Chains A and B, each alone.
Chain A
Amino acid sequence: MIKFIKVTKEYGRPEPALSDVSFHLVKGQFAFLTGHSGSGKSTALRLAHLAERPTHGEVRVSGFSSSRTSRRDVWKLRRKVGYVFQDFRLLPNRTALENVSFALEVIGSSRKQIVPRAQRLLAQVGLAPKAGAWVHELSGGEQQRVAIARALASEPLLLLADEPTGNLDERATRGIMDLFWEINVLGMAVLMATHDLELMRRHPKARVLELDEGHLVYDSAEKEQPEGRPDRSPGVLISDLAGEPEPAQEREI
């Protein structure tokens, strides 16, 4: 599903944003990508979406390789990978239904199917009654649900989420996390960047990948922790978690 093979990403600064990172997320897996601000979480997600290319190494996502996929063909990958942001990124001058319909329209869905499908997607995220509401009339949690519905428009195999609960209160966060798990149960892999320890504590079944200063310092699915740091110790965040997270059950295809 996603495979990072010795990936390094440099931006011209002395320290690379990601350094020699390798991991493999399989179909149907739910994983948190954690670490402090600036640890490289967002860079990893952008690489997984081929919004950027690694300086060294290779990223493989759903059969697409960072070293072989041309810029012109990236749209094919994007239809297999949904993306959800912390700030939702909805079009403000459209309704919830129009935001989802817009995604369906630009990927070439037939005109007759667009509205019924958009309504079904909104129903799937629990927002059917608010389909006609303008974005500014929705709460943060509701806006994130619309963003998730939009991400699901192309029926992706993988959902990338960059701090999707970062702007939400406790109740909305729980709702969104429940939604992500429901989507995951349907077979979609989820890779969620977060630095919310409490969130990870509440979902011990998820795999945890921790980045620290661009290095992958902890992977709950590995018995032997990854190389890249001299002491191979978990970073500060994982050390703070109460108890060891249980390794997630992998469903290799």
Chain B
Amino acid sequence: MNRSRPKKERSDVFYTIRETLTAFKRAPLLTGLSAAMVGLALFVVGLFGLATYNVQVYMETLEERVEVVAYLRDDATTEEIADMVRALTSLPEVLGVDFVTKGEALERAYRELPEFSEILTDLEVNPLPASLEIQLRPGNRTPETANRIAEQAGLYPPVEEVQYGEEWVDKLFTLRRMGAVTTTVLGTAFAVVAALIIGTAVRIAIFARQEEIKIMQLVGARDAFIHRPFLLEGGITGALGGALALALTYTTFWSVFHYLFIISWIPWEWVGIGVSSGIVFGVLASGYAVRKHLREV
């Protein structure tokens, strides 16, 4: 009894694989249509992922520009400035502190404000103050942290004024919050629609074989034995659909990158999650549909 069991299980596995392949061979059009439906549903999710990822990358670029600038009094000593740099650098939220001299500030003004170059040239005294540019670590580039660091920097004696662009930082973070809500709502909606389409595609394929399920039950096949080829079929349909969606999404990325503007390709973990979701939804939808047919008989 114990010796025959593994042989029986091998036979079941063999049957499962063969029946699944046979089903694809017997109805290639139906299989292709199901996989195409799954693929198109996941392609929409892929496009959304591509757009979301690139917006995220752009937002991170903007966030990197969030910094606190402490303008220094002209009479600030080198020691005072050095002490301040040391103290600020030791803060956990601070990534680094750059000292910009008065001369560097004027050079920058020439470079960035060419329309005022004549006025700047005519000046007898450099009116621009030296400053410390305080960069924040990722995750700390929020209005709250920027404000706290600005208040702390303002307490040092050499500091005349502190700025961190309150208005645009606040706007940036409002935009980011709106983006997060929109991404969550739309992402959930796309995922639900994709799941429903995948479920329908797989169920149509199973509906076409309901007579087979009935006959299997009629002659005394165990439920698990009936389930397995259909689960595998659902998983393979999901995987084929996932591969199609990946190909379409990559083609779209390649076309935009080469002909329109530079964008980033989504992380491969996201790709893995997308394709795996297709397989999981395929298996679940298949299991649900077969179970429903089994209960009807």
Binding site for B on A (CB under 8 A): 51, 72, 75-79, 83, 89, 91, 93, 102-103, 105-108, 110-111, 150-151, 153-154
Contact = CB atoms under 8 A, between A and B. Distances in A.
Given A51-B297, A91-B211, A108-B12, 14 more contacts: A79-B219, A79-B220, A89-B218, A91-B215, A102-B215, A103-B215, A105-B15, A106-B220, A106-B221, A106-B226, A108-B225, A111-B14, A150-B215, A154-B220
Contacts of B140: none
27 contacts: A51-B297, A75-B217, A75-B220, A75-B221, A75-B222, A75-B223, A77-B220, A78-B219, A78-B220, A79-B219, A89-B214, A89-B218, A103-B215, A106-B219, A106-B221, A106-B225, A106-B226, A107-B221, A108-B8, A108-B225, A110-B11, A111-B11, A111-B14, A150-B215, A150-B219, A153-B219, A154-B219
Contacts of B11: 108, 110-111
Contacts of A89: 211, 214-215, 218
Interface residues of B, number: 21
- Interface-centre pick from B215, B217, B226, B297 (highest chain A CB count, 10 A): B215
B215 A72 contact: no
- Give me the 9 closest cross-chain CB pairs, A-B, nearest first: A78-B220, A79-B220, A106-B221, A103-B219, A75-B220, A106-B216, A75-B222, A107-B220, A83-B218
Interface string B202-238: 0000000001101111111111011000000000000
B292 interface: no
Tell me the interface secondary structure of chain B in the complex: helix
Contacts of B297: 51
Nearest to B222: A75
Contacts of A110: 11
Contacts of B223: 72, 75
